[in-house]
Amino acid sequence: MNIDSEDINNNDGNFTHINNTEMIIFRYFTIFLYFLLFCNIFSLFGLGIYFLSIPCEKCDFYNRILVTVILVKSIAHLKLTIIKVKRRDEIENNERLKNIIVFLIKIFNFLTFLLAVVSLYFLHFYNNICVTPTLSLKLIRIYYYFTITLYFIPLLFYISIGLFLSIIICIMINYSVEEGDRIPTPENIISRLKIVKYKDLDYIHKKGKKSNKNKKYIKKPSFEMIFDKVKSVIIDKENNEKKKKMQLNSSNSNIIDENLQEMLKPLNTNIESEINYNNDNNKVTQENLLNNNKEISNENEDVCSICMMNYINNDDVMIMPCDKRHFFHVSCLTKWLYKSQVCPICRTNIVNCFNSKNNIV
């Protein structure tokens, strides 16, 4: 059976189909890792022969040791990466093996950082530097700059995103609109748009007056209001319990002697007065709510969708032909139409909108 196309578990009866594209990517990545592994092994053997055949200078002794350590570490690191790629399913299912692999990867990453720091020291701060650059020193320089580049590429990528984020957003917004809608609106179309004062938009204000008459507004909650509501609920619950007790007492009035009933009368009168007091308080709070509703009826004002500023009565607004409720500040909409032909709200092409109205017989 071809393991690249599917993986069958006969015990559970589950069939796991592996994506062919994913398998091809992992296969080529594994081949590349094997290529790097063999290159490092051949380099290690080649350098071993070179170091044995050519006498070591005193200034180059530590350089040769560092190069040997770098190659050995690279071979082990590549081998660990190959194991992680080839046995990825087994590692994911085995928690103990997964923890071991993660721990080893952290160790090798730390060794990479440590060797990069040592290479920096040998290249720029080590006093016993050879007059002529040796092969070991050249390899150390190559390893140092390669490691710095490899580890700083993600950092440079995120820095670039942070610096050019505004440009990226502008490009995304620009290309999110269709090509035809990015054409500037002709002057004759802009001049045909209706301009009025915001206070003259009768359908907006009439709608607001009707809604004020028909709608019931909810007052913004305050601490006192919440406290009163909670208190009234608790008192109502207590009153209901007391009413039940009163009914129980009245049903058992034949059993209770007259002296005890005389003693309970003041208590019952207090309960009735408390109930009447609570009902009066509820009426007062309801009246206050109705009075305060009128004050907050105009709280939600219209806002220009382009500049996000509230309209003032004397503001000039331009109404779009797609919908009379789509109106904006004249300056805001004019700047918009010089760059696009679509409505900022419904994305309707106003040039096509005017043309369709003209074609109607």
Q: What percent of the chain has pLDDT over 70?
A: 66
Q: pLDDT class for 8, splitting at 50, 70, 90?
A: very low
For 206-236, letters b (16+ CB in 10 Å) and e give eeeeeeeeeeebeeeeeeeeeeeeeeeeebe
Q: pLDDT class for 14, splitting at 50, 70, 90?
A: very low
Q: What mean pLDDT do residues 186-196 have? A: 89
Q: What mean pLDDT do residues 40-47 have? A: 92
Q: What mean pLDDT do residues 91-99 have? A: 89
Q: What mean pLDDT do residues 192-205 have? A: 80
- For residue 224, pLDDT over 70 is answered with no
Counted residue by residue, the chain has a size of 361
- What's residue 61's pLDDT? 87
H helices present in 125-220, as ranges:
135-163, 165-176, 187-191, 202-214
Of the listed ranges 51-65, 149-163, 176-190, 268-282, the least confidently predicted one is 268-282
- What's residue 295's pLDDT? 43
- What's residue 293's pLDDT? 46
Of the listed ranges 158-172, 224-238, 262-276, 327-341, the least confidently predicted one is 262-276
The rounded distance, in Å, linking the Cα atoms of 67 and 139 is: 7
Judged by DSSP in three states, 182 sits in helix
- What's residue 76's pLDDT? 93
Q: pLDDT class for 266, splitting at 50, 70, 90?
A: low
DSSP readout, 42-57?
Answer: HHHHHHHHHHHHSPPP
191 vs 214, more confident: 191
Residue 5 is encoded by which pair of tokens? 């196309």
- The angle subtended at Cα 108 by Cα 50 and Cα 139, nearest 5°, is 30
